[in-house]
Chains A and B, each alone.
Chain A
Amino acid sequence: MSVKSVAHTTCYMCACRCGIKVHLEDGRLRYIEGNRDHPINRGVLCAKGSAGIMTALSPARLSTPLKRTGPRGSGAFEAISWEEALRLLTERLTAIRASDPNRLALYTGRDQSQSLTGHFARMFGTINFAAHGGFCSVNMAAAGLYSLGGAFWEFGEPDWEHARLFLLFGVAEDHDSNPIKLGLARLKARGAKIVSFNPVRTGYSAIADEFIAVTPGTDGLLVLALIHCLLEAGQIDTEFLVRYTNAHHLVIDVPGSAEHGLIARDAEGRALAFDRTAGTLVAAESLDIDPALMGRFTLPDGRAARPAFALLAERYSEASYAPEAVAARCGVDAAIIRRLAAQIAEAAFRHPVVLEQPWTDTAGRRHERMVGRPVAMHAMRGISAHSNGFHSCRAIHVLQMLIGAVDTPGSWRYKSPYPKPIPGGGPPGRTVGPPGTPLDAAPLGFPLGPQDLLVDEEGEALRLDRAFSWEAPLAIHGLMHMAIARAFEAGAQKIDTLLLFMSNMAWNSAMNPGETTRMLCATDAHGEYRIPFVVVADAFASETVAYADLVLPDTTYLERYDCISLLDRPIGSAHGPADAIRVPVLDPGRDVRPFQDVLIELAGRLGLADFTAARGGPLYASYADYIVRHQRRPGIGPLAGFRGADGTAVGRGEPNPEQLRRYVENGGFWSQHLPPQQLYYKFANRDYLAGAQQMGFIGSAEPIVLQLYLEPLQRLRLAAEGHGARVPPQRLRARIARYCDPLPIWYLPLEQAMSERSRYPLHAITQRPMAMYHSWGSQNAWLRQILPENRLYLHRELAAELGIEDEDWVWVESRTGRVKARARTMSGVNRHTVWTWNAIGKRAGAWGLKHDAPEFTRGFLLNHVISEFLPGNGADAPQSNSDPVTGQAAWFDLTVRLERCSPDSPDETAPRPDANPLHITPRSEKPT
């Protein structure tokens, strides 16, 4: 008789964090299914999650710590003990910390434990920390957090229950997976209309009622045209604007002055507005005023000022934003844009959602019902991965605000613990005091102006990746995609140790794998590596492992404790806060350790504050111990549920030694449902905000004013005009002045503006295959049967024009290189766009695959023709290929040309870097 058991834990095959039930038979994996009680997936599970068994059995799993023996990149290693690995690292990091802690750069990939890894960096004292957000979604996060105090994807979701019109921007099969699919099914069941703006019609776009094949990088312009139409038609929710946004705040209008474009304030620092009833200036937050949204007013000191809305209305009413003016550029007929605008207005204003649910605003006023605009929006990669993505995302948020579609019934809603004050958190942490002193705050933060940037006296970046500098002032997730290039450039003086966790930086996470691996192996005049020491923590033999000097083998997600914390990126929903854990289900049977355990032990050995016992040595025995006992602030720890000595406290409460057991008993998660009066208008909902403050989500229960007009950007812009003590270097002034516009702008993506469009007339992007959404650990015996190699897809008409037929090999050429791909024609794609599935191509030798695997021979990466740098411009060092506001990697700005390969061209992709499989000398065979 076999022994059967079921464990509840959290999936980690992608970023969704679905609850799973893992069935075991005699200690071996039998079946993984969705947990029906779990708030994220409600019992469903995607293809990837269902293939978790094959990931747990992957031949690419690392099994022991490794130390490099051959040249970097050769794959030659010797197996070493954990004690040796930790001793090596402790010695190295102790020396760094004693001289200059910033010489440790810690970059973590799709890490779901950033509250730990970031805290480690802070206590170590290095500003050089970031996670993968800089090459993923920082445009969405920054635009959302600075505009709404929430964001698409991580911190918000559509109101699936009440939306009548759903606008989906730039989302293929990704971000997120199961919740969007569940939501689309609900919309379909209610007959709501789904419109997808995407150059490619697959997945979600395939089932949309309307597919708009927008030209990549023009979504922002299209949205501004929608705004133009709504303004023209007078279809604006002015009541929402004056109650909940800064639309009526007066903006100083004295061009050339040091305060031009800033919000006019009274002596107490309160923003001013003009009350039309009283005919006077008043504090904008005053109740029962009739604020002007247009006009020009005189401040007490004689200066002129205008409502923020007036600036907005004038700008987008211009003919240059009319559908007819943008149609050609966006690849969308003007009539369609006008019709969509009319549909938005109709859904918002003729079919409001009315819930007979009283609620009380922050002024104490009771509202008898909740009235909302049933136009929900969601956006992700296709907006984010462009160098104009921050402003494009801001444009969507402005559209939401203009029609009152933020956290009202039927619209987009905050996921708990959001909204947060705008922007949440303080400025990024700085080095204070002698080496060894913790930073004064977490390394990633929210600059509000020049004073918060991390720059030296010349205005140049302090951080390795130049985040929070004039090159990327609101880089709130850092620029992981630039870390290796900048470490290479700067040499050993700047960075000694580069510690990478869970990110394939030498392959599909590199903007250019060839350049990245060259830089990782480059030596200086003395034959020393320019990046002196590279440490890679990963569970699998990815392409990056071969470039490590020291490899810290991680476990798979089924072999570890983890927490999906409210301090980081939790699983809360619009219905209330939630968090979850992972528990070890399998015994690894390999000499591997969870990276978080290793980091906690390392921190103890280094003597870092918050990680070291009073008598010295590690304070926490493991990550599980840290999850239970660590307190970020009194009573607030990684998990919010089952706190307090008896496990009854939520949010705040002393650590509960039984907390993990209680989570296990509860199915691996904790969730709390908000009462109905708190479910909407959270930014101004008295009861919600009081509860959120009590739970420790926000510092104060003040209303959160939505930022139609983004004043912090204007502060940066004024500095670029020479005002203030901290100004950008001369070479960056025009750039800051242009891109730090407090109202959304649209501009041609930077690379496209600088490259020869006639030579590279086509856009090239990737989409995420649903069965492999998120590329980590994507080698999987079942999933690779579904998609073992990728094709380059192009429109039938374009193919005919270029003489390309299905299965032809073609060269995809960009300004920096070319890659060979097999073509497939289709109709559902923008006429000027080619695309492929992301991260299918792999490098021979990696991932435990055989030498003739199709992932090597015919699978390809577009990354080979992308560059992390924009075209150089002479004297100035080239800029990174990133959004100029946030530093977001501009993957989708790529332009290419296609050329059919000659018929005798071999049946394989190119470039195909040499195989560099790992050659590991076992510990026992080590020569003595």
Chain B
Amino acid sequence: MTMLPERAPGARKMGLVIDLDTCVGCHACAVNCKEWNTGGEAGILPDYDKYGANPDGVWFNRIHSYETESPERSRTVNFPRSCLHCENPLCVTVCPTGASFKRAEDGIVLINTDICIGCKLCSWACPYGAREFDEDNGVMRKCTLCIDRIYNEALPEAEREPACVSTCPAKARHFGDLADPDSPVAKLVEERGGVDLLAELGYRPTNKYLPPRQAQLPTGPEESPARPSQGVGAALLRLLDKALSR
């Protein structure tokens, strides 16, 4: 059992806002995440059977594309899935060693792999499937919100954001402080009706998803009735009657 920290007044809640209206499902975020983290402070994200029958490995972020059906519309949704850095993270409270913890200052949920015993209780407690087991090292792994980027003063300021946000070609991923109602991410959530994933479970995720927008429906005039046409029409002839100037 690991305790959650007391949240200090004014503490930040760093997280992601992911726009399902523009995500094209390209996997750029997932691969760039793996690339940044496997060579960085997070330690190697293992790959199993790299060139064999069952290629698999640890990813902090995975993309799912699926269809939703409703009487009005069928649509394809691309859904990136990673740790939501919940305010009520049962993955932390179930941890028997304190390896899984939530930071008081910014709300980021992390794993101290030095004391992780690989019992997997946390992955059972996470309803989002955000934790992945590192079979090579017998420890649990997950998204760190790129803490080695966002506070890294060796990087230019513009680059101090998670790798998935930096690389997203469709600009569907946004990073910021969701505790600050004036932050651009909080405003996006407000404007676009950002939602909590599986809100009913009470984990209170920090990351928000912006739902696909109502399609830009036709703005054109009323549908014109079908009519047979013969030869060049009167409307065109009227247009062509007008004087032109080259």
Chain A contact residues, CB within 8 Å of chain B: 25, 30-34, 36, 41, 43-51, 53, 59, 173, 177-178, 181-182, 184-185, 188-189, 191-194, 201-207, 209-210, 228, 231-234, 236, 238-239, 242-243, 248, 276-277, 286-291, 293-294, 313-314, 317-319, 322-324, 334-335, 338-339, 342-343, 345-346, 770-771, 779, 781-786, 788, 826-828, 848-850, 852-854, 857
Contacts and interface: CB of A to CB of B under 8 A. Distances in A.
Closest 3 CB pairs of A and B: A234-B235, A181-B169, A206-B76
Given A33-B166, A319-B230, A826-B67, 9 more contacts: A31-B36, A36-B158, A47-B32, A181-B24, A201-B76, A242-B244, A335-B223, A781-B50, A782-B47
Contacts of A770: 24-28
B74 to A, nearest CB: 4
A290 B246 CA distance: 7
A852 B53 contact: yes
A41 B32 CA distance: 15
Contacts of B167: 33-34, 43-46, 50
Given A202-B65, A277-B243, A184 B24 contact: yes
Contacts of A289: 245-246
A239 B74 CA distance: 42
A482 B150 CA distance: 53
Interface of B: 21-28, 30-32, 34-36, 39-40, 47, 50-57, 59, 65, 67, 69, 74-78, 158-159, 163, 166-172, 212, 215-221, 223-224, 226, 228-233, 235-240, 242-246
A44 B163 CA distance: 10
A519 B242 CA distance: 63
Contacts of A854: 53-55
Given A44-B28, A44-B168, A342 B231 contact: no
Given A59-B51, A343-B220, A781-B47, A51 B35 contact: yes
Contacts of B212: 207
A310 B132 CA distance: 67
Given A210-B215, A335-B223, A771-B26, A45 B243 contact: no
B22 A188 contact: yes
Contacts of A53: 35
Contacts of A338: 223-224, 226
B169 A323 contact: no
Contacts of A286: 246
Contacts of B26: 46-47, 173, 177, 181, 203, 770-771
A827 B66 CA distance: 10
A317 B220 contact: no
B75 A342 contact: no
Given A338-B224, A770-B27, A853-B52, A206 B77 contact: yes
B24 A343 contact: no
Nearest to A34: B167
A850 B236 contact: no
Nearest to B226: A324
B47 A339 contact: no
A923 B246 CA distance: 73
B245 A239 contact: yes
A185 B229 contact: no
A703 to B, nearest CB: 11
Given A45-B169, A191-B216, A290 B237 contact: no
Given A234-B239, A781-B51, A184 B39 contact: no
A30 B77 CA distance: 33
A618 B211 CA distance: 61
Contact of A185 (B30, B172, B238): B172
A781 B55 contact: yes
B213 to A, nearest CB: 8
Contacts of B245: 239, 242, 288-290
Given A201-B76, A206-B75, A771 B31 contact: yes
24 contacts: A34-B166, A50-B31, A50-B32, A51-B31, A53-B35, A185-B22, A193-B219, A202-B76, A203-B26, A204-B24, A206-B77, A207-B24, A232-B236, A294-B237, A294-B240, A317-B232, A319-B228, A319-B230, A324-B226, A338-B226, A342-B224, A781-B55, A785-B57, A852-B52
Contact of A339 (B53, B65, B218): B218
B239 A207 contact: no
B31 A313 contact: no
Given A178-B169, A317-B232, A47 B244 contact: no
